């Protein structure tokens, strides 16, 4: 997204070039700089949660509770010059680490608590 044309610093709304696919409360999401700088109020390597406005427009909150609040508590954005991406953070939980594998002696299960 373009920091200059896709960010409204009055309404705090970010407009995606196409349907963003996020529901209100979705996250965590990360913003990453493609070029230039991020809109003021946003930082790289920081978790945000989405407040869906209409499928292409959205706002960002610093917690899921803030995103789900009525009214939502959103990040105060200021103008910048550059482009950035918003992507869902890949969260790996202990349950996702558990897996099965087969050895010569037969199937075994890995216990993620042993790592």
- Return the HEC string of the chain: CECCCCEECCCCEEECCCCCCCCCCCCCEEEEEEEECCCECCCCCCCEEEEECCCCEEEEECCHHHHHCCCCCCCCCECCCEEEEEEECCCCCHHHHCCEEEECCEEEECCHHHC
pLDDT at 91 (0 to 100): 65
Q: Give residue 105's domain range.
A: 7-114
Give how many domains the chain has, as a whole number: 1
Give a yes or no: residue 74 inside a domain.
yes
Give a yes or no: residue 73 inside a domain.
yes
- The answer to whether the predicted template modeling score (pTM) of the entire model surpasses 0.85 is no
Give a yes or no: residue 21 inside a domain.
yes
Give a yes or no: residue 2 inside a domain.
no
SS3 assignment, position 95: helix
pLDDT at 64 (0 to 100): 97
What span, in angstroms and rounded, lies between the C-alpha atoms of 47 and 40? Answer: 15
Give a yes or no: residue 1 inside a domain.
no
pLDDT at 63 (0 to 100): 97
pLDDT at 30 (0 to 100): 92
* Per-residue confidence in pLDDT tens, the chain, 115 aa: 888 899 998 999 999 988 989 999 999 999 999 999 889 899 998 999 999 999 899 999 999 999 999 999 999 998 778 888 888 887 665 554 444 444 354 444 445 554 4
pLDDT at 67 (0 to 100): 97
pLDDT at 88 (0 to 100): 86
Give a yes or no: residue 54 inside a domain.
yes
pLDDT at 102 (0 to 100): 40
């Amino acid at each position: 997204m373009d920091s200059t044309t896709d960010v409204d610093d009055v309404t705090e709304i970010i407009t995606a070039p196409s349907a963003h696919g996020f529901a209100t409360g979705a996250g965590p999401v990360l913003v990453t700089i493609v070029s230039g700088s991020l809109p003021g109020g946003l930082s790289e390597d920081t978790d945000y949660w989405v407040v869906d406005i209409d499928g292409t427009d959205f706002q960002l909150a610093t917690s899921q509770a803030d995103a789900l609040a009525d009214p939502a508590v959103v990040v105060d954005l200021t103008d910048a010059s550059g482009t950035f991406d918003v992507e869902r953070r890949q969260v790996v939980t202990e349950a996702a680490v558990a897996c099965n594998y087969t050895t010569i002696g037969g199937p075994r299960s890995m216990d993620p608590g042993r790592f």
